[in-house]
């Protein structure tokens, strides 16, 4: 099968949905963070593909920005997970239910 430009688009949407499912259905906070990273990387793939379709480098530059931001966000998030683990001794999102009506 010859490579065509719609293929990475479909792949990007699939990766995005897999990441979203990971955030919604998995209970481990670290796995949820992996899901978020998958969603961000799916957007990167979309940017790069559209960049190729439009014959412009904009999208490729965007994907580098996104990587930097994803790293910063992961750093902040892991810090929060560690702080939570110190107080509650768990990374399971089901057992974190102190705040509710």
Partner 1 sequence: MSLMNGDLFAPYWILSGGILVTLILSMIRVETKRPAQISAITTLLFTFFAAEGQWGVSTTSLFHGAIEISSFGMMILILLCGLGILFCVGSSRYLTKEGIHYSDYYHLVLILILGSSLMAAAKDLMAFFIALEVLSIPAYTLVGFRRNDSRSNEAALKYFVMGSVLGAFYLFGCAMVFGATGSTDMSAVYRWSQQNSRPELLFLIGHSLLLIALFFKVAAVPFHFWKPDVYEGAPTAVTGIMASIVTVAAFVGVVRIVHLVDYQAAGWESYAMWIKSSLRGLAVLSLGYGALVALTQTNLKRLFAYSAIGHTGYLTLGVLSSLTQSQNLYAIWVYLIGYSLMSAGIFILMGQSAPQADAGVELIDLTGLMKRNPLQTVVWGVFLCSMAGLPFTAGFIGKYAVFTAGIDAGETVFVVIAALCVVVNAYTYLRPIALMVMRDADPQAAQWSGSVASKTISVLIALAVIALGVLPQQFIVQLKEISLSH
Residues near partner 1 (CB under 8 A): 12, 16, 19-20, 23, 29, 32-33, 36, 39-40, 42-43, 46-47, 49-50, 53-54, 56, 58-59, 62, 65-66, 69, 72-73, 76-77, 79-81, 83-84, 86-88, 96, 98-101
Specify whether the CB–CB gap between 90 and 28 falls below 8 A: no
Rounded Cα distance between 54 and 99, Å, is: 48
Smallest gap from residue 95 Cβ to partner 1 (A): 10
Smallest gap from residue 2 Cβ to partner 1 (A): 21
Give kind and range of the element (H or E) at residue 11: helix 6-25
Specify whether the CB–CB gap between 18 and 48 falls below 8 A: no
């Amino acid at each position: 099968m010859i490579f065509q430009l719609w293929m990475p688009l479909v792949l990007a949407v699939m990766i995005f949905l897999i990441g979203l499912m990971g955030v919604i259905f998995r209970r481990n906070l670290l796995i949820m963070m992996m899901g978020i990273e998958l969603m961000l990387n799916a957007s990167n793939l979309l940017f790069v593909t559209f960049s190729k379709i439009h014959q412009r480098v904009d999208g490729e530059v965007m994907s580098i920005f996104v990587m930097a931001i994803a790293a910063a966000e992961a750093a902040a998030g892991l810090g929060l997970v560690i702080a939570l683990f110190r107080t509650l001794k768990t990374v399971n999102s089901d057992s974190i239910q102190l705040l509710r009506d």
